[in-house]
Amino acid sequence: MRNYLLLAAWFLLSCLSPVASIAQKKVIVVLGSSTAEGVGVTNPDSAYVRIVEHYYHNLGLIDTIYDLAVSGFTTYYAMPNSYVAPPDRPAHSWGFNVTSALALNPDVVLVNFPTNDIVDGYATSEYLSNLHTIYDSVIAAGKICYVTTTQPLDNEPVDTLEILRADRDSILNEFGAYSIDFFDPLMASDSLTINPLYYLDGTHVNSAGHRVLAQTVINANILDIMPLALSLTSFSALSEQQDALISWTEVLEDPNTVFEIQRSADGSVFSAIGEVKGQATAGLGSGGVLGGSTTQGIGSTQTLSYSWTDKSPLNGRSFYRLKITEGTNEAYSRVASISRSALVPGIGSIYTANGSGLFTADITIGNDQTVVLSVFNSAGGIVWQQAATIVAPLTKVSVDMTRFAKGVYFLQVMGANGGKTVKSFPDF
């Protein structure tokens, strides 16, 4: 348990010491709960925040990371000073909230509240709303904010695990490039629980799990340490029968750009499996093909599209990222993943905006076709059904669940050939 008096004194000294003393080095502040505090490691230097700190410190970019995370905290503790909590919710915690974080004049604020809100029974709508309030407070101050997703747990009801997975998808959808997926890298290949390699006590992960989270943050390149002329506008991995289709779009491509496709079995250690030269390098016109990629359009301000097919995804889950090289500069994309066991048509993320009753499902498919979408309740009864035309490789389909009782439901997609895919999701 932390000594709050000592932390308060440390915070005051931090505020009194001019941040300018760090010269041009950047400042990172972390808000969060037990994972960000480092619970689960015997050596404090093995905590993911400290690993990230050492990584950037060795590059000469920071002196320290201010870690304001406290075990047991929910998003309510990190709300700004101006926020008035409902009567049955905790008030903000001065010294550990977003107002205190901004007082340290950070360049980047990392927000990491992965499970406590959901386990404490808070609605997804208030959880996402709180994350938005914290995020918006940072953005309004002219700073950069990254929001991590939920994490898998053990020893929790299936309904809770489903909510954590659905909230992961909602966070990734709402915060886009400024979200970091902490769920998939820690998840077991055959369930929504913690991968046994990272298991500690059913709630927290061990030192190996912290190393995975650290690498995930480093992969997100939160300090933009080697800016490229190119701007990656999307990156995805989709199942196509037993293949994986890796797709990305970008603008402002440098003439010497090279994309290296990398794959990992655990989301941490990656190896190269393919390479695609940039269109400006290749000199291709519209619709050209190079190295398994499909390209459309040429011009530094136009959106350029690429795709590359992995014909041999790993058994279970495969994680993918891009290593982007422009001359001597390098950067990495965010990480995307697929499961080899996914059927066609497949169901990717099922997410909701601010916990509303309107759900969006990402339906993946190898070729355009008409499918039948069905939603079943936990008793196996059909509560909603309709036909829909799905355009390859992905079509978003919305399902209005506001008229149905809260609980766990199952979305089934049946293709033209009778093949079926089913995925559960919670109606909040």
pLDDT in tens, 351-379: 887 777 888 998 877 678 889 999 998 88
Same domain, 147 and 243: no
Q: Identify the residue with better confidence: 390 or 300.
A: 390
Return the higher-pLDDT residue of 227 and 292.
Answer: 227
Of 308, 339, 370, which marks where a domain is finished? 339
Both tokens assigned to 392: 């390859």
| Mean pLDDT lowest among 85-89, 111-115, 218-222, 320-324 | 218-222
Number of domains in the chain: 3
Cα separations (Å) of 106 from 28, 214, 315, 422?
5, 19, 42, 44
- Rounded CA-CA distance 228/195 in Å is 35
- 109-119, pLDDT tens digit by residue? 999 999 999 99
Q: Which CATH number fits the domain that encloses residue 322?
A: 2.60.40.10
* CATH number of the domain enclosing 367: 2.60.40.1930
Range of the domain at 71: 4-219
pLDDT digits (tens, 9 = 90+) for 95-111: 999 999 999 999 999 99
Q: Is residue 275 part of a domain?
A: yes
Residue 51 confidence class, pLDDT cut points 50, 70, 90: very high
Task: Name the pLDDT band for 39 (thresholds 50, 70, 90).
Answer: very high
Dihedral angle, C-alpha 46, 50, 56, 60, nearest 10 °: -110
For residues 213-227, give the mean pLDDT.
81
What's this model's pTM, rounded to 2 decimal places? 0.66
Please check whether residues 118 and 198 belong to one and the same domain: yes
When mean pLDDT is compared over 123-127, 221-225, 280-284, the highest value belongs to 123-127
Is position 116 within any domain? yes
With 70 as the cut, is the pLDDT of residue 17 above it?
Answer: no
pLDDT for position 301? 61
Q: E strands along 50-206, which residues?
A: 65-67, 108-112, 144-148, 179-180
- Final residue in a domain of this structure, among 173, 195, 219: 219
Lowest-confidence pick of 40-49, 242-251, 297-306, 324-333: 297-306
pLDDT reported for residue 224: 72
At residue 226, the pLDDT reads 56
User: Which tens digits make up the pLDDT trace of 121-173?
Assistant: 999 999 999 999 999 999 999 999 999 999 999 988 888 999 999 999 899 88
250 and 311 together in one domain: yes
Q: Nearest Cα to 426, choosing from 223, 192, 215?
A: 192
- Mean of pLDDT values over 285-302: 41
Query: Would you state the pLDDT for residue 385?
Result: 93
pLDDT of residue 50: 96
Neighbours of 231 (CB within 10 A): 13
Query: Which long-range contacts (C-beta less than 8 Å, at least 24 apart) are formed by 191-194?
Result: 192/152, 192/158, 192/161, 192/162, 192/164, 192/165, 193/152, 193/153, 193/154, 193/161, 194/151, 194/152, 194/153, 194/154
Asked if the bond preceding 185 is cis, omega within 30° of 0, the reply is: no
Domain-located, residue 138:
yes
Yes or no: say if 244 and 235 are a contact pair by the CB < 8 Å rule: no
418 and 333 part of one domain = no
* CB half-sphere exposure, 146, CA atoms < 13 A: 23
Same structural domain, 35 and 179: yes
**What pLDDT, on the 0 to 100 scale, is given for residue 2?**
46
- Decide: 388 and 398 in contact? Cβ < 8 Å: no
What integer pLDDT is reported at residue 16 of this predicted model? 43
Residue 395 lies in a domain: yes
- Side-chain half-sphere of 415: how many Cα atoms within 13 Å? 19
pLDDT above 90: residue 334: no
Distance separating alpha carbons of residues 192 and 254, to the nearest angstrom: 41
- Report the percentage of the chain scoring pLDDT > 90: 43
Do the domain assignments include residue 169? yes
Q: What is the CATH number of the domain that holds 129?
A: 3.40.50.1110
Domain contains 224 = no
Task: Give domain status of residue 226, yes or no.
Answer: no
Q: Single out the residue in 283, 310, 339 at which a domain terminates.
A: 339
In a domain, 225, yes or no: no
pLDDT of res. 291: 36
Q: Name the CA radius of gyration of the chain, rounded.
A: 22
93 and 192 together in one domain: yes
Q: Domain check: are 143 and 252 in the same one?
A: no
DSSP assignment of 118-159 equals HHTT--HHHHHHHHHHHHHHHHHTT-EEEEE-----SSS-HH
Q: Are residues 135 and 238 in the same domain?
A: no
Provide long-range contacts, Cβ within 8 A and 24+ apart, for 98-102. 98/31, 98/134, 98/137, 98/138, 99/137, 100/11, 100/68, 101/29, 101/31, 101/66, 101/68, 101/138, 102/137, 102/138, 102/141, 102/143
299 pLDDT more than 50? no
CA separation for the pair 199, 40 (Å, rounded): 10
pLDDT of residue 273: 95
Rounded to an integer, what is the distance from CA 191 to the centroid of its chain? 18
Same domain, 144 and 64: yes
Residue with the bigger pLDDT between 99 and 291: it is 99
- Is 137 found in the same domain as 39? yes
Q: What is the mean pLDDT of the chain?
A: 83
Q: Say what the alpha-carbon torsion angle 78, 84, 87, 88 is, to the nearest 10 degrees.
A: -20
pLDDT tens digits, 344-357: 577 878 888 777 78
Cβ–Cβ < 8 Å for 92, 76:
yes
298 and 357 together in one domain: no
Range with top average pLDDT, 237-241, 299-303, 324-328: 324-328
One domain for residues 200 and 335: no
Q: Quick check: 282 pLDDT over 70? A: no
Share of the chain above pLDDT 70, in %: 86
Question: Please, are residues 298 and 280 in contact by the beta-carbon 8 Å criterion?
Answer: yes
